[in-house]
Structures are given as structure tokens and as C-alpha cells.
Chain A
Amino acid sequence: MHRIGIASLNRVIRWTAAAVLGAGLAGAASPAIAAAPSVTVSADQALRFGSFFTDTSGSRTVSAAGAVSGSAIVPLTGTAPAPAQFTFTYDRGNNANTTYSLLISVLVPGAASQVSGGVTGTIARFDTDLPGVSALIPGQTAQITLTGCQRRICSRTFRVGGTLQVVRTSGGAQLAIPLPIVMTVLAEL
């Protein structure tokens, strides 16, 4: 019984190895069918400043790490403040087993601002936990290097915080300020 078990196992291993080798050779022999590199960025979670009121003007900061502070505002119960979360995914298009880095530009285009009734909300500055970038200024490109990519798919989840400046002349408002993030792979290193 014991010998039969070993023989069966060997056969399975051999068949598996043959299948893997076959697939590897098929891919390697036809470099033209490797997919083109591609980049995707997904918005996983909104940047939430929560509920608060201010007399005429004030600000609330939610950092990329989740720390919350405010100036001239009164925080109120409601949605808990939290940084935005995005996921960057790079598909290099082939299964080469090498370690590589990515040089990436990050841009928050345009002004992050909204006027709603007597309330104006503006985010002049974002911060992020992306490596090497302390601030994201709308309209200005920042460059980062993602290191440690090893597989075909290199993915990184990062958070974005910011400071919302509010000027209020009357009433209240529910602000929903678009926060587009453009990420471009400048080079694979």
C-alpha cells in the first residue's frame, strides 16, 4: 500500500511539472502575444470630513493616517471622518519573474472646490501615504517611485487626506467635491 502511494504521488508531480513547463514554453516562444502593460486606479473610499458647523469660516483636516483636527468648527455626530482610499494596479503584461520599480506621476487635476448655497468648501492641499510624497497640490504633478514590484501585477493601496476650508455665509450644505486622481507610469525601472 505504501509503495503504491509513492508511485501515484510521483506521477502526479511529473504530470504537473510537464504541464507548467509546457505553458512556460508556449508563452516564451510567442512574445508577440504578451499583453501590453496597463494601469488602473480605483477609488475605494471617499475622503470623509464628517459633520460639523462653523460660524463664518473654519477648517477640518483629515490626514492620510486618519488623524482628525479642526479650526473654528464644532464637530457633530454623523459620518465618521476618514481618508480617501485608492488602489493603483499595474499589469506589466507578462509573467517575468524580476523585481522592478515604477516611476509614477500623480496628479489631482483642477481645483477641489464646491459652492453650495451659502457654503463654499475648498481643499487646497491633500496629503497621502504614497512613498516620498507629503502633499498633493491640485494642478501640480508629484512623482513617486513604487519599489518592490515582483510579479506581473503590482498593486498598491494608498490613502489621501486633506484640509477642507469652509466659508459660510448662510445655512448649511452637504458637500460632495470630486476628487479625481490621475496616475501615469513614467518608467519601469
Chain B
Amino acid sequence: MRARQILAAAALLGTPALAASGQSATALGQAEAMIITPIIAVSLNDLDFGSLTSSRTASGSVTIGAEGAVNYAGGAAPACGGACAGVVPARFLVSGEAGRSYTVSAPAAITASGTLIGGGSAPALAIDELTVHLESHAGAVSSIGQLDDKGEDRIEVGGRLNVPAGTAPAHYRATLTIMVTYS
């Protein structure tokens, strides 16, 4: 009797399921992405060594610190006597996504090409010891910055202009390129 009951139960359990067509369900998923504002650096002012005089016999240099300190050495001296106005480091405004950190890279040295006052090209002058100062990171850190809550930061770049003895009066110009990237 018990065996018959078991067989009957097994037979009923084996019955095909009810048709199920038309059963439908929806899930609401989501696709997410954070599109970041590109980071850019805009020049606010140039690295300006101002007007200076050079010695006929002694080489010299003028150094502008990234934070603005100016120092004349050797045969180089300010043409205006004391401290000349407008001798400043280069300044850049960096803008991008608020709160993001970024890396700045700048060359260690560049070359200034000159045009003699009387016309014609002058020998090139070397600008070296380029130093970078980030407003967001005072002190030793000079390559990684952080954009503030407005998505901005400021970069200053100083350097040393080397003036050989007997440099002829000329106008000098160099291109300083920095690159900023999100880190």
C-alpha cells in the first residue's frame, strides 16, 4: 500500500509544469560615469628677468626664485640700480576638476634667443635651475598639486639666467612650456 502511494506521488510530481508564456519582469539598472573637466594651464605672466647689465670681464647671473626672490650674482646687475619692478617668476593658472590632484612637469633648462639692439641675432643665453612652486603645496613638493574647491591652483616658475662676460645689449626671449596632467 505504501509502495503504491509512493508511485502515485512520483507520477503526479512528474506532470509537466503549467505553460509560462507572457511572464515578464523589469529591473531598473544604471550606467554610471564620471566625465572629468579637462585640466588646463593658462599663462598669467611671463618669467621676466627685467633689464640688466653685464660685465665685460665677469660672467654673472640673475636668479628669480619660484616664490619671487631675486638675486644677482657675478657680473650681472639690475639696470635700474636697486630692485627693478617687474622682475617676476612665470605664473600659470591651472583649472580643472575640483579636488583632483595633478602633476606638473617643466623643463630643467631652456635657451633664450636674442636680437641685438642694433639688429641681428645675439648669442643664445642659457636659463637653468628652473624651479616650480605650487600654491596648493608650499615647500618641497614641486610636481604634484591639488585643485581647490573651485577647481583651481596656481603655479610659479623661477629660474636662473646665465649672462656671460661681454654679452652685447640685446632683447632675449625664450619659450617656457609646462605640462599639467591629472594624476
Contact = CB atoms under 8 A, between A and B. Distances in A.
B27 A43 contact: yes
Interface in A1-55: 21, 24-25, 27-29, 31, 34, 36-43, 46-55
Contact of B23 (A25, A39, A84): A39
A45 to B, nearest CB: 8
A31 B16 CA distance: 12
B33 A188 contact: no
Given A100-B17, A188-B17, A48 B32 contact: yes
Contacts of A172: 34-37, 97
B25 interface: yes
Contacts of A186: 21-22
Interface residues of A, number: 72
A96 B30 CA distance: 36
Nearest to B19: A188
A64 interface: no
A137 interface: no
Contacts of B181: 74
A95 interface: yes
Interface of B: 2, 5-6, 8-9, 12-39, 97, 100, 181-183
